[in-house]
Amino acid sequence: MKTIAPLFTDRDLSWLSFNARVLSEAENDTVPLMERLNFLSIFSSNLDEFYKVRIPKLLIGKKKSLRKIIHKEIVNQQEFFGRILHNKILPQLQKENIELIYNKPIPVFMEGRIIQYFTRHIAPAIELYPLPLKDNFLIKSNSLYQAIFTTSIEGKENMYILKIPTHKVSRFYETDSNNRRHIVFIDDILKKFLPEMYFPNMAVSIWNFKVTRDANINFEKEEDILENLEVYLENREKGKTTRFLYEKDMPLKKLQNLLQVLSIPFRDAVAGSAYHHLKDLNLISIEDEKASYPSMKTLERHTGEGFVFELIDKQDFMIHTPYESYDKVIDFFMEAATDEKVTEIYITIYRTAMNSVIIEALMIAAKLGKKVTVFVELKARFDEENNLKWLRKMKNAGVHIITSIPKLKVHAKVALIKRDKKKYALVSTGNFNESTARYYTDHILFTASSEISNEIETFFNFLLKKRNPLSPDEVSFNHLAVGQFNLMPLILEMIEREIRNHRKGKPSGITIKVNNLEEIIIISKLYEASQAGVKVELIVRSICCLVPGVPGQSENIKVTRIVDRYLEHGRIFIFENDGENKIFIGSSDIMNRSMYDRIEVLCPVYSPELKNEILELITIQMNDNIKATEINVNLDNKPISNNGIPVRSQYDIYDHIHKKFTE
């Protein structure tokens, strides 16, 4: 890959660099086999989302030459995916006595069993439509389809499409024979048995395809978003086509005819393998325990030390998921729901679990007469329906609901409880979601600090107004850094302070961990810090538009990326500050959307013990030489030389927490 400009890398090429890093884990022979299948699945799912969310913007806002570079990179990665699957994964599956029938005929010995399965399970679920389609028919985004071309004895030609019924039957059929598992795609079962059962005495050819649509929603009437959300979601399903993925061996004339009948431009056609939606590879199970990462039992500190509020009264504390149990967060809300001393509960919801114990606790609290206020962000992409479902349930339970602010997303992850004339706050780097807490690395602060809790109350009082800020000075935050108020000025001032300290010969340094780094004003300020001699260390999981290691620009900046069994998700900002570290945790990345289109919250960490705790974890991550890669000027994921003691940060952090806090 090549950078697009001398100062800033294109965000989409940078994201593709991250997806390439995900793919490299699937190639890695030291990664257990089931985990490698999972990384292939993640890669495929990520690419689907890229076509749903980013490609529509590329078609409008990017130069044609850049679009060609992006397309070429996607093609290269897809070809690499195919080589990994053919040359590494399939042979490894065979060693496990698993035969995945991939681009091969269905074995003859399986046919009798499959005919029965087809008749009993697949045939009743088949949806077959003649072309041209009726006006109200919709090809759903990222569902699997087959195009069927028939020619009768008389020479009459017809076309049909069939929706592969993965919503009713498994993507795979499997059976055992001679101590060997044989796994077949139902795509191939349909190709094999559909012609003779549905189109006897005809020439039939069947080709797999998938359509991806623009998933961006234009919320035209944001003042009435609740009333119109279902219409918006329905319109998303009708979004413009961004990709028509088809089997590369489909004859050109058939492809052209199909596209014409479906009213899809030829420019959207993308050639692929015979099998689409390969995120389904993670459905393949392997019984050998060595095929998966060894289990890591979640750690539990403060066991047997009483209720959560009593623990917070003693001192601020943190938990770090997924290494530590999320139960303390659930207990925080469950105890608040039933504690007679608790009078009020406030929380922001951006993404939450499908079966959320936290929200159940909020509804219990409301039914018990407590004042419960929940801000629900209805514009959380792909979680709108789940949020709407919970909103209605909470409303029926008596919870006071605040919904989306026009032209802004509330992405903050904060909660506040008023109990016995005291306030308790939760600040998290991730969502209040007990499902993702099992595999997202996040940090949650429990505090009774009046400085923090009072400002979180101020924050909720602003949200209750359900409008945009009138000005950044409308509300004063002296401790929290809040988007649309003081977030970006505070980050810039912290960087400037490090520059001044370095020039005065005082201790200086910047360490930032985020998911994405894009906003050019802050990047430019980091370049200025580097040019002044300040050491800048960045851990950036995905998008990184900063170009590190450029003489005269960024030679003092190092960027690493960690991809391992868990998804790196925490946001941490550390400034040396003349030996008195300023540390913030919270919801904000350094993205355009974070600074200009969202309300984020970063919270200072004041406890010396917790500061040290965070510094210890970040130090472990900065020393990772197994799963960390260094991003260079060409967006390559460069392995870090492993000449010293091996450090695999996710495992070493687990060991560190276990030894220091739970033994």
Task: Give the global pTM.
Answer: 0.95
Q: Which two tokens stand for residue 106?
A: 């269905």
Residue 4's pLDDT band (cuts 50, 70, 90): very low
What's the Cα-to-Cα distance from 91 to each of 30, 84, 106, 284, 303, rounded to whole Å? 15, 10, 18, 15, 46
Q: Answer whether 50's CB lies under 8 Å from 78's CB.
A: no
The pLDDT, as a whole number, for residue 221 is 77
Instruction: In whole angstroms, give the CA distance from residue 362 to residue 155.
Output: 66
Over residues 335-366, the pLDDT tens digits come to 999 999 999 999 999 999 999 999 999 999 99
**pLDDT at 477 > cutoff 80:** yes
Residue 522 has a CB neighbour count (10 Å cut-off) of 20
Of 189, 187, 39, nearest to 115 by C-alpha is 189
Burial class (CB within 10 angstroms; exposed 0-12, middle 13-18, buried 19+) of 415: buried
Contact partners, residue 322, CB within 8 Å, separation at least 6: 296, 298, 437, 438, 439, 440, 441, 566
Q: Which two tokens stand for residue 10?
A: 């294109």
Over residues 96-121, the pLDDT tens digits come to 999 999 999 999 999 999 999 999 99
Q: Answer whether 384's CB lies under 8 Å from 351's CB.
A: no
Can 411 be counted among the known catalytic residues? Answer: yes
Residue 490 has a CB neighbour count (10 Å cut-off) of 19
Helices (H), 243-301: 252-262
The pLDDT, as a whole number, for residue 326 is 97
The structure tokens 């935050």 sit at: 477
**pLDDT at 1 > cutoff 80:** no
Instruction: In whole angstroms, give the CA distance from residue 292 to residue 286.
Output: 8
Backbone angles phi, psi at 441, to 5 degrees: -85, 115
Q: Answer whether 449's CB lies under 8 Å from 332's CB.
A: no
284-315: burial string, b at 16+ Cβ within 10 Å, e else: bebeeeebbbeeeebbebbeeeeebbebbeee
Q: Answer whether 446's CB lies under 8 Å from 332's CB.
A: yes
Over residues 221-271, the pLDDT tens digits come to 777 888 889 888 888 888 999 999 999 999 999 999 999 999 999 999 999
Of 477, 335, 505, nearest to 420 by C-alpha is 335
Instruction: In whole angstroms, give the CA distance from residue 248 to residue 207.
Output: 10
Contact partners, residue 341, CB within 8 Å, separation at least 6: 419, 420
Residue 650's pLDDT band (cuts 50, 70, 90): very high
Residue 30 has a CB neighbour count (10 Å cut-off) of 7
Query: Which residue in the list 182, 277, 411, 656 is annotated as catalytic?
Result: 411
What percent of the chain is modeled with pLDDT above 70? 99
Question: How many whole angstroms from its chain centre is CA 464?
Answer: 29
Instruction: In whole angstroms, give the CA distance from residue 362 to residue 415.
Output: 12
Instruction: In whole angstroms, give the CA distance from residue 536 to residue 556.
Output: 6
Cis link prior to 195 (omega < 30° from 0)? no
Q: Which residues are bridge partners to 144 per DSSP?
A: 210
Burial class (CB within 10 angstroms; exposed 0-12, middle 13-18, buried 19+) of 140: middle
Q: Which two tokens stand for residue 136?
A: 């109200």
Let me know the angle formed at the C-alpha of 251 by 246 and 256, rounded to the nearest 5 degrees.
70
Burial class (CB within 10 angstroms; exposed 0-12, middle 13-18, buried 19+) of 98: buried
33-45: burial string, b at 16+ Cβ within 10 Å, e else: bbbbbbbbbbbbb
Give the DSSP letter string of 569-628: ---EEEE--TTS-EEEEES--BSHIIIIIEE-EEEE---HHHHHHHHHHHHHHHT--SSE
Instruction: In whole angstroms, give the CA distance from residue 398 to residue 363.
Output: 7
Mean pLDDT of the chain: 94
Give the DSSP letter string of 114-159: HHHHIIIIIGGG-EEEESSPPTT--PPTT-EEEEEEEE-TT--EEE
H or E stretch covering 196:
helix 186-198
Residue 526 has a CB neighbour count (10 Å cut-off) of 25
**pLDDT at 5 > cutoff 60:** no
- What is the mean predicted confidence (pLDDT) over 192-213? 95
Q: Answer whether 479's CB lies under 8 Å from 448's CB.
A: no
Contacts by 650-653 with C-beta closer than 8 Å and gap 24+?
650/441, 650/562, 650/564, 650/565, 650/566, 652/620, 652/624, 653/320, 653/323, 653/617, 653/620, 653/621
The pLDDT, as a whole number, for residue 6 is 52
Q: Which residues are bridge partners to 602 per DSSP?
A: 481, 586
Residue 625 has a CB neighbour count (10 Å cut-off) of 17
Over residues 173-189, the pLDDT tens digits come to 999 998 999 999 999 99
Over residues 56-78, the pLDDT tens digits come to 988 787 778 888 999 999 999 99
